[in-house]
Amino acid sequence: MMPIFTTLLAWLVLDQAFSRRFLLGMTVAISGAILISLEDFQLSGGYLGDLAALVAALLSSINILAVKELRRHFEAATILMWTCGIGSVLMLFMLVVLREQIFPRTATSWYAVVGLALLPQALGQGLLAYSLKQFSASLVAVSMLAVPVTAAILAMVLFAERLLMLNWVGFGIVLLGIYTAVSDPAA
C-alpha cells in the first residue's frame, strides 16, 4: 500500500503528475506483491495486524514525502541526524514513562542495538534520504517493493525457507512492475 499512498499524497498534496507508464508499473508491482502475500491471506481472525500494517504504510508514505521535501534544503546526513535525534528523545521519554530498561545489559544486546543503528537506520534510511534528491518519492516507494523479494530470497538462502512457485511468480511480477516504473523517462 505504501506506493499507492505515496503516489496519491504526492498527487493530492504536492500536485505531482504521473505518466501512464509509471502508474502501470506501480500497479503491476503491487499486483505481484499481493500475489506473494496470497499464501498468508486469511479471512478469519483479527484484523488488528492488517490495520497496523495499513497505518504503517501511510506513515511510511508521509515520511518519504517529508524527507523528499526536506532534501530540497538539507543534506541527507542532516535529515538523518535530526530524525534520529528526535526519535531518540521521544523513545527515551517513553522508556522513562513506562519505567522500562534504557540501556542493554549484555554484550549481545549491545551488538544488536549497534547493528540496528548502523545497518537499517544509518545505511538504509541514509540511502533512502540520499536517493530522494535524485528520484521522485513515488518511484522510491515503488522500488521499495523489491525489499520483500530480497528478504524472501535471503530467508531461503540463509534459513532454508521454502518458497512456492506462487512466490517466484509474484517476485517476477514485482520486478517487472518496478522495471516498468523505473524505466519511465518521466519518473
Q: What is the rounded distance in angstroms from the CA atom of residue 29 to the CA atom of residue 41?
A: 18
pLDDT in tens, 78-116: 999 999 999 999 999 999 999 999 999 999 999 999 999
pLDDT in tens, 112-152: 999 998 888 888 899 999 999 988 899 899 998 888 889 88
Q: What is the rounded distance in angstroms from the CA atom of residue 101 to the CA atom of residue 185?
A: 51
Q: Residue 112 is placed in which grid cell?
A: 544488536
Could you tell me if 62 and 9 are in contact, meaning their C-beta atoms sit under 8 angstroms apart? yes
Q: What is the rounded distance in angstroms from the CA atom of residue 179 to the CA atom of residue 19?
A: 14
Domain boundaries, the chain: 2-182
Question: CB-based contacts of 72: which residues, under 8 Å, 6+ apart?
Answer: none
pLDDT in tens, 11-33: 999 888 999 999 999 999 999 98
pTM greater than 0.85 (yes/no): no
Could you tell me if 26 and 177 are in contact, meaning their C-beta atoms sit under 8 angstroms apart? yes
Q: What is the rounded distance in angstroms from the CA atom of residue 48 to the CA atom of residue 55?
A: 11
Could you tell me if 148 and 39 are in contact, meaning their C-beta atoms sit under 8 angstroms apart? no
